[in-house]
Amino acid sequence: MIWFFQREGKRLLYEIRRSDEGDGYELVVTYPDGRVRTERFEDSSALLRRSIEVQRELIEEGWAPPLD
């Protein structure tokens, strides 16, 4: 699943996907400057909890889903 967030005319990509390295999942945030933050999870419950935390952090930093 992929979501976009925007802030001050810039877009951030937020993705949850199956891991390329075998079993498990990855939470990937790609910032407008090209930086990529990847977190890996074996357990979907842990992924869901962390995903909620990361979305809250992004919102606190001023990121929001695009309106267009």
pTM over the 0.85 mark: yes
State the DSSP string of 1-64: -EEEEEETTEEEEEEEEE-TTSSSEEEEEE-TTS-EEEEEES-HHHHHHHHHHHHHHHHHTT-B
- Predicted pLDDT of residue 68: 67
Contact between 12 and 5 under an 8 Å Cβ cutoff? The reply is yes
Question: For residue 2, what pLDDT band results from cuts at 50, 70 and 90?
Answer: very high
- Predicted pLDDT of residue 67: 81
pLDDT in tens, 9-67: 999 999 999 998 788 999 999 999 999 999 999 999 999 999 999 999 999 999 998 88
- Predicted pLDDT of residue 21: 79
